């Protein structure tokens, strides 16, 4: 049975601030738990005026403390920005505070621009082999300590925090397969290689101590409302944000704009259609049909739904309608 989860970036609405965004995130997670979503993930981004989840581990703790059963995790931590031991200690602490509920998704991008990457890392020196080595190092920190092991994650050692590989290319798919880890594809914003990546992962998967068979999660934008017209209007907030980001001008999440798409150039419309090709927009019936088609096409074990909507109540309404359309059950495990 396919599981359905939520990815939230703690969007900062135009005219709001990070405090508003983080309160909305906790409120959304509480609703998501009641509605039957399986996971609630947050993502690491930096120097983004419209995203409040930069200190991702702290926000995960904020959400986990506000809920009681839903799994909470990172989708993901951008590992090149951090020493593996630091991440092991952070997520070991979270797993100690909230046992059985914490996930750690790992990406190899920076989650920001070059200048901010330098501020985070103090160097932009690259090593193509660093990410796989860092993932394996993290796995060792979460395993039982070996005799004579000089460096341990405390908390962390022996907790076996579930690790995921995130990606939008064949690289992540191949790494997840080799390591025998679950794989999450970022089709909600980079869908081009979706099907080849899934096929690569499934065909090359090697069982591991964490996972005996391949497990695929895929990202999907969902905008639900009482009418298709209203849902399309709600979607214009993230469309505006994407255009500004592509111009190197990230902004707070703006309010929706009537007739927005009519004012786009052909190039802008094509870019948005490509970036958001994995999207479902409409009322309840079309939402259910669109999600079912997406699951059938990808064979996904889990769908990670993201819903960037300016008004918090409209976002809650969209995700509740989606849960109702999918007949989610908060008592059932996927």
Structural domain includes residue 176: yes
Domain with residue 67: its CATH number is: 3.20.20.30
Structural domain includes residue 51: yes
Structural domain includes residue 309: yes
| Cα separation, 33 vs 27, whole angstroms | 10
CB 325 within 8 A of CB 34: no
Structural domain includes residue 29: yes
| Cα separation, 31 vs 215, whole angstroms | 26
pLDDT at 64 over 80: yes
81-104 pLDDT tens trace: 999 999 999 999 999 999 999 999
Structural domain includes residue 261: no
Q: Measuring CA to CA, which residue among 245, 243, 235 is closest to residue 287?
A: 235
Structural domain includes residue 149: yes
Structural domain includes residue 262: no
DSSP assignments along 66-106, one per residue: H-SSSEEEEEEEEGGGS-HHHHHHHHHHHHHHSTT-EEEEE
Q: Name the band, by pLDDT with cuts 50, 70 and 90, for residue 32.
A: very high
Structural domain includes residue 333: no
What percentage of the chain carries pLDDT values higher than 70? 93
Burial (0-12, 13-18, 19+ Cβ within 10 Å), 271: middle
Q: Name the band, by pLDDT with cuts 50, 70 and 90, for residue 111.
A: low
Domain tally for the chain?
Answer: 1
Other beta carbons within 10 angstroms of residue 127's beta carbon come to 9
178-197 pLDDT tens trace: 999 999 999 999 999 999 99
CB 44 within 8 A of CB 71: no
pLDDT of residue 333: 73
pLDDT at 53 over 90: yes
Which residues on adjacent β-strands are paired with residue 106? 77, 165
Burial (0-12, 13-18, 19+ Cβ within 10 Å), 152: middle
pLDDT of residue 124: 53
Structural domain harbouring 117: 3-219+301-325
290-306 pLDDT tens trace: 999 999 999 999 999 99
Q: Name the band, by pLDDT with cuts 50, 70 and 90, for residue 116.
A: low
């Amino acid at each position: 049975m396919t599981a359905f989860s939520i990815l939230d970036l703690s969007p900062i609405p135009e005219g709001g601030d990070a405090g508003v965004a983080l309160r909305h995130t906790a409120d959304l997670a509480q609703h998501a738990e009641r509605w039957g979503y399986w996971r609630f993930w947050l993502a690491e981004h930096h120097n983004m005026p419209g995203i409040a989840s930069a200190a991702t581990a702290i926000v995960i703790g904020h959400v986990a403390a506000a809920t009681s059963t839903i799994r909470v995790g990172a989708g993901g931590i951008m590992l090149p920005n951090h020493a593996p031991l630091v991440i092991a200690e952070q997520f070991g602490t979270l797993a100690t505070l909230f046992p059985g509920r914490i996930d750690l998704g790992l990406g190899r991008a920076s989650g920001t621009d070059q200048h901010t990457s330098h501020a985070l890392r103090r160097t932009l020196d690259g090593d193509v082999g660093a990410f796989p080595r860092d993932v394996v190092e993290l796995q060792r920190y979460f395993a039982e300590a070996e005799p004579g092991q000089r460096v341990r994650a405390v908390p962390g050692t022996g907790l076996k925090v579930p690790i995921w590989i995130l990606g939008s290319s064949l690289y992540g798919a191949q790494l997840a397969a080799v390591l025998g880890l679950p794989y999450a594809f970022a089709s909600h914003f980079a869908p081009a290689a979706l099907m080849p990546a899934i096929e690569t992962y499934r065909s090359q998967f090697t069982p591991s101590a964490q996972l005996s068979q391949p497990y695929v999660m895929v990202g999907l934008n969902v905008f639900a409302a009482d009418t298709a017209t209203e849902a399309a209007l709600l979607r214009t907030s993230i469309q505006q944000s994407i255009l500004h980001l592509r111009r190197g001008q990230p902004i707070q999440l703006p309010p929706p704009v009537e007739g927005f798409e009519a004012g786009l150039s052909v190039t802008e419309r094509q870019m948005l259609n490509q970036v958001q090709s994995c999207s479902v927009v409409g009322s309840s019936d079309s939402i259910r049909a669109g999600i079912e088609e997406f699951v059938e096409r990808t064979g996904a074990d889990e769908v990670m739904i993201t819903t960037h909507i300016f008004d918090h109540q409209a976002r809650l309404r969209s995700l509740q309608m989606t849960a109702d359309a999918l007949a989610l059950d908060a008592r059932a495990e996927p």
